[in-house]
Chains A and B, each alone.
Chain A
Amino acid sequence: MLITLFNAALIVLITWLAYRYFELRERTGPVEGRYAQFLAGVASIVDRIEGYDAAHSAEVADTAEKIGAAAGFDAEQLQSLRAAAMLHDIGEMLLPRDILRTSERLDDERVDLMRTHPILGELHLKTRIETPDEVPAIIRWHHERWDGLGYPDNLKGEEIPKAARILALADAVSAMRHTRPYRHRNYTDMKEIDAEVERQSGLQFDPDLIALWLNISQDYQIRKI
């Protein structure tokens, strides 16, 4: 008798919890979806200002998410990584347009100015977020290099948060897939890009991530240009 009552109570409890879960999902789901759409909209403005004719930020976010998942990131970490990837170059919106759209090689002074964009992005996002959040920090460090010769802080190796290391790799891969006017070399197929990425293991990129990327690159066939 007691067992039957207990079972009945358990069923009621599970049903109520399931109801609450679906009710909550229904309430938050569309908000999350809308938030992602607005983020994509903002990112597409940055892409256009940077001179990309395709959705660069969304592509970086997809690639970063795949590498992050392979690296064992949990849902919260993946969400931060995706948000940072979508907004990684947002600081460029505060720079003079002629620097972003020029096809000429930038002089030292303009290179220095260009290199402030991760800090500008971090600062402007941070002022709008009340509680400490890692997304501005990931944006700040997406141009750091594994060997300490990146910018703005010249962080080195594991000092660079893994999310920022992943973003740096995803950004570089995406950039290599698009033709850019100032680049010495434009890549014609994905094998060339993979070879270049592998050459940069321990120089520009975290060697552990290179191994992950080369697996993903084959498994997921991200090979369209």
Chain B
Amino acid sequence: MLRLQSSWLLEAAAEHAGVDSLFFPYFHRFSALNWLSRKEITLYLNSPVDSQAMLARAWINCRDGGFGERNLQKFNQVIKKPLELDLNPFRTWKDRFFGSQQLDYLFYWREAAYEIEDEKQREIFWSVVYQIISYWVANQKAGTRIIYEPDQIMAYYLNQHQRFVRGRSGRVEISCIPLEELAAGKNPLIVFPLLFEDEENSETELQIIYHAWFHGYADLEQSRRDLRNILRHYLISFEKSSDWSLFVRLAAGADSAALTWSGRDLPPKIYEQELIGPMRQAFSAAYKSSRLTYKAVDRTCDAYDYLLMFHN
């Protein structure tokens, strides 16, 4: 779990130099980049996870407006009769996360979108399914009533998407390159939102389900393995010393580097000892100084957000 606070990041960066572009070799969730993408800053965003890169293209780099009215009429249909479950590739998810009707729609939406001629429009349609899965899973876990019918929630989120992308004119470039193959770009600031190896929360679970849906996998374990494999050199461990070589290599062309994460259940002193010390050591050859700032989120459970800036 990570709370990326863009204004905090820019404030910290501005203490040293003006920032006109930012480079994220990895971003943890597309919508967290909304605030930055509306600033007069060039954003270079990379996600080695193709389903997440697609979501960012559809929501953060969408300058042509929302989903067209004609496509809405054509593709947001009501399924009148239940579909044959045997044909549904996601049938093993029944009663685990979704009911029969929801599975019918997950199948229909994925297949129907192939008929959308314009690729950008297709990506908008698919990207909205991420929000819908999130809505269904969250309510299913809480045992709360799902009030919107599938076609209504699809229309709701297509409308939300339209509002989200309105007035967007920022300079954003999105790539989907494996981290090991990604080159270090020359940038004023590189940002690393950190992920912890042993942490699985509702967002990572959602990304696993969505990645499986996006690729048409029935097997969620395969999706989990895929994601872990893609991020294997990026995940941080508390148990064993982490390898920071990927981070240091990617930061080679940047004037400053920012590492940010959300801590839980441990006081800042432990983080300083276990994590920040090794980070400082790893980056010491590239940067002369560093500054740690942190904010309290909930002092009763030692939840703090951290921002560690390296600069010359």
Contacts and interface: CB of A to CB of B under 8 A. Distances in A.
Contact of A153 (B35, B38, B136, B203): B35
Q: How large is the interface on B (under 10, 10 to 19, 20 to 34, 35 or more residues)?
A: 35 or more
Nearest to B7: A119
Given A132-B296, A132-B299, A211-B143, A112 B4 contact: no
B101 interface: no
Interface string A142-175: 0000111101111111110111000000000000
B299 A134 contact: yes
Given A153-B5, A159-B262, A202-B135, A211 B297 contact: no
Contact of A149 (B31, B141, B201, B298): B31
B298 A154 contact: no
Interface string B24-36: 0000010111110
B284 interface: no
Contacts of B141: 207
Given A77-B298, A134-B296, A155 B142 contact: no
B32 A134 contact: no
A210 B7 contact: no
Contacts of B131: 147
Contacts of A137: 295-297, 305
Contacts of B136: 202
Interface string A106-137: 00100010000001000000100000111011
B3 interface: yes
Contact of A159 (B2, B135, B296): B2
A201 B136 CA distance: 10
B263 to A, nearest CB: 12
A154 B34 contact: yes
A201 B139 contact: yes
Interface string B281-312: 00000000000001111111001110000000
Nearest to B163: A149
B277 interface: no
B31 A154 contact: yes
B202 interface: yes
Interface in B17-58: 29, 31-35, 38
Contacts of A203: 135, 156
Contacts of B139: 201-202, 207
A138 to B, nearest CB: 9
Given A146-B138, A154-B31, A154-B32, A112 B298 contact: no
Contacts of B160: 149
A206 to B, nearest CB: 8
Contact of B144 (A76, A153, A162, A201): A201
15 contacts: A76-B300, A77-B300, A126-B295, A133-B296, A134-B298, A137-B295, A153-B3, A156-B134, A158-B203, A161-B298, A201-B147, A202-B146, A203-B135, A208-B144, A210-B144
Given A76-B300, A158-B1, A159-B3, 9 more contacts: A76-B299, A147-B131, A148-B134, A151-B35, A152-B7, A156-B32, A202-B134, A202-B144, A207-B141
Closest 10 CB pairs of A and B: A207-B142, A132-B296, A148-B31, A207-B144, A202-B138, A154-B31, A202-B139, A202-B135, A134-B296, A154-B34
